[in-house]
């Protein structure tokens, strides 16, 4: 009887277990903490100190023989990745193009194999702790993984679209492609609010000058990275947007008062924290209103511990910007890592001398300057971040995952964002779009891609010739460009931060003096117009990537209706939010019906039945407009966009018709949303 009773109890317990499966320790917060503390109890002080560091090493493989002397000469802590991991028990590695970890174009198999090989070495160590494998993949001008990966226009281009959906889509794709390469940590997004046109280091890396816009797009990207299980890092705290000094080469000072800091600079970081950001990167910037010591934020305990950790309640990882930058080196070299850690950083990123930084930290702990308790706090956060990302369970990446890099869908998303981002700022006498019989001369610095733009326009039936110059055009180059301009009907000058380059300014002004109609396309910062405000037409792309230049060509040729809105002010010229398009019909459903008639005349809509279905829908919207029924207008215009997508997918309307109808639909929706 007793045995039968015991069997009944066991059967009942087994049934309960099947209904309510037991959770592992890692499935609960307390269980995770127990696992981490058990791991830490088995770690030596040397291993704990090593976990604080993320470093770069030269080479394409874990033991690449071609870079052994380079690594030794440049104080990497060993002759290859394997030695550095074994010597210093490092917490992570940082990939760059110039260290040849990631080449251009990307060898996806090589990077995937490198990441897996490094994790294998780390997991073979006594402590068995997986690595952070990190890079800077912001999109736009800072993008380590390029072709055949998906190259995006960048943050300010996203700001020009105003689209959280696009911000999330780009981060999701960037995260997926990084993950397929074994890269589990991305030092992005940039959360700086760029309010200074002279900013030499942020600029188009920022979403714009409006803190609310920057906050919305930052939060959207944070969530998207996390969905791809990639650790994101908002940077550069407490905000690098209002400076004319590059912290790579100097020490910027942000002279904002406390109210401005909270209303502008700190707002996107608060949004990132609210979105659950994994880590925040400190900036090498002095902010006297927060700390009057003269120390940069990276070395400031009041800013990192007092403000970020205690006041703002951030409990994730605080990571330094690269410790080799000039902005961090305001104390002796052997003190930089120590002072950064004492300020509140958990991760010490990229010290220029690995051995020196590591030994300095060891000495500081052994002398009692830094308590082992403080070290344990950061090591706990680091191990928890790795555990939360599942790296202890499986730090490796399937080699087959690289098939998801640069897919047609990914590339199309980047193209769509670029098309929507191009901003037409000025268009005197309807100079743009160009016509098929125009003869055009294109010039500008090679960095501003005049040759690529020329090739693209020629493919579209516009006769274009080009001449590239240096970034600062010589007198001879300017003379030759002017001579070519005199022979053309119209001239396009592509510029590259011309607002800070006198030679480019001279190039544009001397071409203007020929009397030919001049269009300037700013291929990086949108502020170039400040130094030649009299040009006939002006567009800005927010980046020099091929995807942006190709979108520019489509806008210049009239294939795409420009819809970007300035995410920054061009001082004394154009306000935040300004942007023109090519449609001169009224912003109403009736105006759109006129646009439909124009597109029919141009042969962009295939047949009468397609045109009739579009017009009938707009007639219904017009009815609601006359009744000021804003909710009905917005609802029916959203379904109108679905109709337009349907007709494009079925080949009933051209890409041009789709662009013009969709951009005008968006404008009309925005108009009536504002009226609600």
What does the DSSP 8-state code read for residue 403?
A: G
Contact call for residues 367 and 72 (beta carbons, < 8 A)? no
- Please check whether residue 471 is in contact with residue 496, taking contact to mean a CB–CB distance below 8 angstroms: yes
Report d(CA 161, CA 560) in Å as an integer: 14
The continuous run of DSSP H or E covering 440 comes out as strand 439-445
Task: List Cβ neighbours of 41 (8 Å cut-off, separation of 6 or more).
Answer: none
**Helix spans in 422-545 (H):** 450-459, 475-487, 502-512
Place of tokens 């693209």: 456
Query: What residues contact 546, with CB distance under 8 A and at least 6 apart?
Result: 151, 449, 452
Question: Cα(390)–Cα(24) distance, rounded to whole angstroms?
Answer: 13
Annotated catalytic residue 321:
yes
438 to 305, 465, 549, 583: CA distances (angstroms): 61, 11, 19, 21
N-terminal to C-terminal alpha carbon distance within the chain: 76
**Active-site residue flag, 393:** no
Q: Residues 248, 262, 578, 623: which is the catalytic one?
A: 248
C-alpha dist (Å) from residue 329 to 187, 248, 333: 21, 10, 7
Contact call for residues 157 and 542 (beta carbons, < 8 A): yes
- H-run or E-run covering 111: helix 108-123
The single-letter DSSP state of residue 21 is P
Q: Print burial letters for 207-242: b (CB count within 10 Å at least 16), e (below 16).
A: bbbbbebbbbbbbbbbbbbbebebbbbbbbbbbbbb
Exactly one of 192, 265, 321, 438 is catalytic; name it.
Answer: 321
Q: Where are the beta strands (DSSP E) in 24-131?
A: 53-55, 92-94
Cα dihedral across residues 50, 56, 61, 66: positive or negative: negative
Judge whether 546 and 411 are in contact, CB under 8 Å: no
Q: What is the Cα–Cα distance from 52 to 278, expressed in whole angstroms?
A: 16
For residue 377, give the H/E element and its range: helix 372-388
Structure tokens at 425: 């700022």
CB environment 472-501: b (16+ within 10 A), e (fewer): ebeeebbeebbebbeebebbbbbbbbbbbb
- φ/ψ of residue 536, rounded to 5: -75, -40
Query: In Å, how far are 7, 209, 597, 653 from 604, measured between CA atoms?
Result: 78, 38, 10, 6
**Contact assessment for residue 155 and residue 204, using Cβ atoms and an 8 Å cutoff:** yes
CA nearest to 202, candidates 188, 215, 213, 212: 188
Judge contact between 434 and 462, C-beta under 8 A.
yes
Q: State CA 528 to chain mean position distance.
A: 22
Which region, left, alpha or beta, applies to residue 390 given φ > 0 means left and ψ of -120 to 50 means alpha? left
2: Cα within 13 Å, side-chain hemisphere: 0
Just list the catalytic residues: 248, 321
């Amino acid at each position: 009887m007793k045995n039968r009773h015991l069997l009944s109890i066991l059967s009942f317990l087994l049934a309960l277990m099947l209904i309510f499966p037991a959770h592992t320790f890692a499935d609960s917060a307390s269980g995770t903490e127990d696992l981490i503390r058990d791991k830490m109890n088995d770690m030596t002080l040397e291993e704990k100190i090593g976990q604080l560091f993320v470093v770069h090493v030269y080479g394409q493989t874990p033991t690449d023989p071609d870079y052994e002397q380079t690594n030794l000469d440049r104080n990497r802590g060993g002759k290859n990745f394997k030695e550095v991991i074994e010597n210093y028990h490092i917490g992570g590695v940082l990939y760059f193009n110039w260290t040849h970890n990631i080449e251009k174009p990307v060898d996806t198999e090589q990077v995937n194999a490198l990441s897996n090989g490094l994790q294998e070495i780390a997991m073979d160590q006594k402590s068995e702790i997986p690595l952070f494998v990190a890079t800077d993949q912001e999109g736009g001008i800072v993008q380590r993984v390029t072709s055949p990966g998906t190259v995006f226009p960048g943050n300010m281009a996203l700001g020009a679209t105003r689209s959280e959906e696009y911000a999330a889509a780009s981060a999701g794709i960037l995260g997926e492609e990084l993950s397929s390469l074994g890269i589990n940590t991305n030092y992005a997004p940039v959360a700086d609010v760029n309010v200074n046109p002279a900013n030499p280091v942020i600029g188009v890396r920022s979403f714009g000058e409006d803190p609310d816009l920057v906050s919305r797009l930052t939060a959207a990207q944070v969530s998207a990275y996390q969905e791809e299980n990639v650790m994101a890092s908002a940077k550069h705290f407490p905000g690098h947007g209002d400076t004319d000094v590059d912290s790579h080469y100097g020490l910027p000072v942000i002279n904002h008062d406390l109210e401005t800091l909270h209303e502008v600079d700190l707002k996107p970081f608060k949004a990132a924290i609210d979105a659950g950001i994994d880590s925040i990167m400190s900036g090498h910037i002095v902010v006297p209103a927060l700390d009057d010591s003269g120390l940069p934020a990276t070395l400031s305990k009041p800013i990192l511990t007092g403000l970020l950790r205690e006041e703002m309640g951030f409990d994730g990882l605080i990571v330094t910007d690269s410790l080799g930058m000039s902005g961090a080196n305001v104390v002796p070299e052997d003190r930089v890592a120590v002072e950064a850690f004492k300020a509140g950083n958990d991760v010490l990123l990229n010290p220029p001398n690995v051995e020196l930084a590591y030994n300095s930290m060891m000495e500081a702990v052994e002398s009692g300057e830094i308590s082992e308790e403080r070290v344990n706090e950061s090591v706990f956060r680091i191990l928890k971040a790795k555990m939360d990302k599942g790296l202890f369970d499986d730090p490796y990446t399937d080699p087959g995952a690289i098939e998801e890099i640069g897919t047609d869908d990914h590339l199309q998303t980047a193209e769509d964002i670029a098309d929507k981002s191009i901003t037409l700022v000025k268009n005197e006498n309807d100079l743009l779009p160009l016509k098929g019989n125009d003869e055009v001369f294109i010039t500008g610095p090679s960095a501003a891609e005049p040759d690529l733009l020329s090739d693209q326009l020629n493919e579209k039936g516009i006769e274009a010739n080009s001449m590239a110059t240096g970034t600062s055009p010589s007198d001879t180059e300017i003379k030759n460009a002017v001579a070519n301009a005199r022979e053309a009907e119209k001239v396009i000058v592509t510029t590259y931060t011309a607002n800070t380059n006198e030679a480019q300014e001279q190039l544009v002004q001397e071409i203007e003096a020929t009397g030919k109609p001049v269009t300037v396309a700013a291929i990086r910062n949108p502020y170039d117009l400040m130094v030649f405000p009299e040009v006939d037409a002006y567009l800005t792309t927010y980046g020099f990537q091929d995807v942006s230049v190709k979108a520019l060509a489509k806008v210049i040729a009239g294939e795409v209706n420009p819809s970007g809105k300035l995410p920054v002010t061009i001082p004394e010229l154009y306000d935040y939010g300004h942007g023109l398009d090519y449609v001169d019909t009224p912003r109403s459903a009736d105006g759109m019906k006129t646009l439909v008639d124009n597109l029919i005349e141009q042969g962009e809509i295939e047949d009468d039945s397609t045109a009739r279905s579009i017009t009938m829908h707009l007639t219904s919207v017009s009815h609601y407009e006359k009744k000021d029924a804003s909710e009905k207008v917005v609802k029916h215009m959203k379904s109108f966009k679905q109709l337009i997508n349907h007709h494009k997918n079925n080949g009933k309307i051209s890409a041009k018709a789709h662009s013009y109808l969709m951009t005008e639909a968006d404008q009309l929706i925005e108009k009536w949303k504002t009226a609600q």
